Every structure is written in C-alpha cells, then in structure tokens.
Structure 1
Amino acid sequence: MANTEVIIVGGGMVGALSALLLAQQGNTVHLIEKSVFQMPTHDDPVDLRVSAFSAQSKLLLEQADVWKDIPADRLCPYKGLQTWEKGSQKLVFSSDDIGAEQLGYIAENRWIQAVLWQALQALTNVYIYQETQVIAIQQDAKQVSVTLQNQQVIEAELLLACDGANSAVRNHLQMPMTSWDYRHHCLLINITTDSAQQDITWQEFRETGPCAFLPLAGHHASLVWYHSPQKIKHLQSLNNLQLKQAIKDEFPALDFEFEVDAKGGFPLTRRHAQHYYQGRVALLGDAAHTINPLAGQGVNLGFKDVQCLVELLTECSDLGIPEILKRYQCKRKPANLLMQTGMDIFYKVSKSESNVVRVLRKGFLGAAQQSGQLKTRVMRYAMGIN
C-alpha cells in the first residue's frame, strides 16, 4: 500500500508509530492530536508514565529508525525479572538463560513519543493538526471523512483510532465495548535511589494486590503499589516524606536508601471492543483494548496491533480496506483477548485469600521455577521472539 490517504486520531505512542511507519511507505498521513505536543528536555524530571518495551517492540522502533534517537540516559535495559509471594520460592527469569543481552527496556512514554514526533515533523507527507478534536465522522464505500472543531473536513481512504481508552472515535461510531472495574487502584511512585542503575524488575504478590519495582535509568526507579481505592487515596494524600515512611513500613523491603519524587494513582479497568473495525475505521491500542498492567504488556500489545495492520496493508494491498480490516480483527482480537484473560486469571489468583489457593499458588511458583524449557518459552513469548 502506497500513495494512500490515512487519517490517524491520537498522537500517543501507538498513533505516532502508526503514522511514521505508514508515512515512510509513501502514504499521506493526517495526524490529529487534541493536545499540543511539547518536546521534553533532559532537565525534565522522570515521567510517572513508563513502559516496559519487549524485544519485538524495540525491533519495531528500530524499523521506524527512531530507537537510536532515544537518549541513553532515559533508557533502562533490564536483564532479570523476579516474582514471588511471601513464603514461596522466587520465580526468576534471566536474559542469560536464553542467551540474550536483556529481557527488555523500561523507558518513559513521553520520550518514545518524542522521538516518533521528531521523525514525523521532518516528513513532507505528514500533516499534523494539534489542539483540535474530531466532532463528526462520515464514511461510505469509498472513503471516510472527519470534521474538526474549526469545521475543516479531511477525507481519506482509512481512519485509525489511536486515541486511547476513552476513544472519541469509538464513541462517535457507537462501537460497543465489554468492560468492568477491578475495584482496585494503582499508585505509581517515582523515587531517586542512592544506588547505581539496577537491571532487575520484581513483583511481590499480596492479598491486597501486587507490589512491584521497576528500575529506571540512572539513580531512578518506579514503585507500583496496588491496593483498595481507599488505601490508594490515603497514600496519595501523604506528602513525600510521609509516603516514604509508608513505603518503608508497608512496601516490600528495599535494600537501598531513597527519596520520593512524585506520585500518581489511577483505577484499574478492563475494556475490550466487541469489534475492531467499522467500515473504513480501525481501532488500535487502548482504543481497542486495555489490560491489567500487572505484566506491563499494554504498550507491547498496542505495538503488535500497529505491526499487524501495517503488514496487512502492505502485503494485501490488492484487497479492499474493509477486507484488510476484517483480517486485522481476526488476527489481533483473539490474541489480545487471550492476554487479557490470562492477566485477569493471574490477578484474581494472586490476591485470593483462600488457603487452598495460597498453597496452589506457592506450589505453582516453585514448579514454574523448575520447569526448564517451559519457563524459557514463556520468556521468549513475553519478549516477542520465537
């Protein structure tokens, strides 16, 4: 597919990557973003929004020729992943077990978005519309058009909705969703440590919800604390010194000194679109699905959506757009549903107070640690490699 007009609504990581890959193939891209993009600077504090990027996601960013532009001091490779419950054997994943340099990378979302936008702004076949929103969508058998707030109309052959969990495009088209609230909230806490950059991410399971540690570049790290909405609200009300003491008192032990820099909480919800496309409109990333952040797979699933759709548009250019989007749905919807369901089961089992479930849970972690090739296959799948 080349010389095609494409509208992309949403300039986050998924939308910007879609725009860049399609533009690099010679298509004309119209990128619509409701906010104004601001390039981060090296002096900016570490963003609370970070993601763990798999080897497959890294390859996709390399394909877009932007991975090299991510500042090294904003990127943290990690070699190990550990998970356990109090009293259970640790389940340990290591890149050394599969002969890889690392399991993945943890980076701030805004820096990934920044290098994508930087590349987009250098292309003459990309038109960017900022600080505006879509107020109407119309489509027929040959094209789709959107009307912006200033009444400007943009016409194209394809519209990609990459505008997040509360997708305005999806709502305009009244595309049905299946969703529920996990009745748990999550608190993200950025800290500065007195130790060098670490390369192991870990997670301890508790009945109140998991607690996790994500290493960030340099002397930085992110703590992830799951708990009841009431508890998270209380933790958010604390000042940084009080929160530091709460971490020392209630969070899994940290073997270094630290200071709290920033915090932010959000509810855990699960959403899945019943249809990934309607006519010439496709949903990608969080617009199509949100997942429990337990395993950090959200951005990687979104990038898999991008890769799948771009490949179909390239390899099946002789087919009509609706048929291509039907194939996209057939490939991505079952895969995303499987990952969502797996994370849901894992999450529910992890916080069960049943003594029987506790015994089985601890036994599973021990058995998984000794599973050899099975554990290796799980690692390679999570990394997105064969």
Structure 2
Amino acid sequence: MADLLRLLLNVSEKAANVARVCRQEAPLFELLVQEKTGDDKNKKFVQDFKTLADVVIQEMIRHDVCAQFPELTGFIHGEESNNFENGLGESVTVTVCPKEEDTAALLAKVLDGDQTAAALLTTAIHQNPQLRDELAESLQVDLSPEDVGIWIDPIDGTSQYIEGKEEEVSDKGICPSGLPCALVLIGVYLRTTGEPVMGVINQPFNRKDSTEWKGQHFWGVSYGGVNVCSFTHRERPLEKRKNGSLSVVLSSSERKEVKEALAPLSDGCLTYASGAGYKILCVIQGLVDVYVLSEASTFKWDSCGPHAILRALGGGVSDLGECLSAIGNGHKSFKSELTYNKPQSECQGVEKWANRGGLVAYLDSSVIDRVLGALAGKI
C-alpha cells in the first residue's frame, strides 16, 4: 500500500500537469473554453473537449495504476465515460496507449485530426513527474492492493476550471470560486466494507508565480490503527473561538432552511465556496470547522479521497440524511459514515453513486453533534 500511495501521488501530479497544460497551451485552451454555434455546434468533439480533458486524466490514472498493480483492473472507477463520437460520426474509445505515438493518433482521431492539440495533450500524458514525499516513502501499511478499489474525480470543480477565474483569497484563507477550487481527487476504499482508507488531493492551481501556476498536494492513510497525514495538526490555522461559534462552509445554492438553521452557530457569518472537494479541503486545512450539504449533488468520486484524509486526522464525512433520521428515532450519537463499495440499487446511471443523503464533513466529533442538533427537525 505504501507503493500504491507513492504511485497515486505521482499520477496526481501528472494529472495536475495535464490540467495546467490544457489552460496554458493556446491550441488546447481554445478548445477548452470556446462555445461553438451554427454548423460547428454539431462537432461533438468541440462540445465535449471539456469532458475529454477529464477523461484523459481519468484514463491516464487508470492506465498507470493498472500497469503497476494489475490486481486493481476492474476496480478503478471514475466519473466519466471514455466513449466519444467525433465530428465524422465515428465512435472512439479514449485510452492511454503504451506508446506515445499511438496515444497521439487516437486523440487526433477524437479531435477530428487536430494534430497540434493531440500532440500537446499526449506529451503531458506521457510525462512522468516524481513527487518526493519522505513521509509517504517511509509508510508501512499491512494491506494488499487486491483488497481495495479506487475512485477518481479527474477535475473536481470543472466549471471553475473552465471559467478560469483567478479569485482573490478571502481573509479566512478561502477561495470562494475560481481555479484554486479545481482539484484532482483520488480515493482508495476497502472492497469488503467500503471504508475509505487512503486519499490524495492535488490542487493544480494553488498559487501563481508571475505567469505560471504552481500546485500543492495532500494525502492521508487511515487503516488498522495507522492514521498518517501529510497535513499535521500543528499546521492548521483555525483557532478555538472564545464565544464557541463555528465556521461553516456551504454551497451558495444551499437551501434557505439549512442556512437559517446554521447561521446562529456561526454568529450569522456563513462561508461559501465552490467545489465539493475544495470545501472538504477547507475542513482538512482547518480553514473551517464543518462543511454541510443537504442535497444529493455529490458522488462517491467527490468524497472518497478527502474522506480518507479527514479520517486520518480524526474526523470524517457522514451521511446527513441518515444522521438526522437516527436523531428522529432517538439515537443522538449516531454518525453514519459514507461508504464507497455499494451502488444505490434503486437508482440508474451515475445516480447509483450519489451521496443521496447529503453530507457533513468535520474534524471534531463535537462539531457534528452541534450541526445535527441545529438541523434536526428543520429539514
């Protein structure tokens, strides 16, 4: 598992490079952001280039991991389908080939013969950046890769990635929207129980030096008494407030009833940010106490990786709906942690993997008790 962690760190950095290249190189950037009209609107590859950037990252991670750990074949799941139809009506399955020229030829076919864009994308895919992390390299975890599965969110916060705004960070250290909210998320879970045991977050657009974006990464492992994270408690800037108020981050589209119920906990000062992964990262970093979402608008690929990191720090991500239901039945201490191995049998398509009850992401268990107490009977 230590070898798997080191590999996931490296592929997350490769994914971050692909994300940056798609914005930095003009031929790719134009495909990424332009909206076609008229006759050009029927060219599906242009409409779907946003999705292609996601899929390329997803399939690159799948390819690299299966090459080193073939026992994970069939157990690496992602958000995107890898089937495309180009402007000629040809169906193309996007994969990463062993040879760079074969990958370039396949991508050129998807991109209706755009050799320049295909070559730029291929070069980024076949690079092999090495992230050196001494703590990860020294880690010992007694768990076999054949006992786990993986969830990938290649670019969480895609809309923020496409819009590409360089938002100013708030005085709390939080970026409400923009490129810093776009993350690469990789989560590892136990096939038997669905428990998240390892997570990697790569933030491709953490800071900008002159004209070039720099990234950062986080990881955590929580399994069998081992709880290790690259982000330590001492580094967290959040201070205990004298008046006991909580810092709560929400989606701006959150329900009015939820905002009204939680406002008293935060002295009426709720925080808003984009991207589910980014909001959980804010909890991990201690920039906020808790992230609450009442809707079924996140999926297993959004939460698995960040959830594992929170567990390594002593926190968790709970199913909001199940927790509130338990409170209604008299079980006030029930914290139903999200699991990642079983689909919702009554749902179809991607909805099978939705976090249907919403979620609460927290570091301190006393925080979730206060949040649930505030929401009980209100939603």
Tell me the TM-score normalized by structure 1: 0.24
More helix per residue? 2
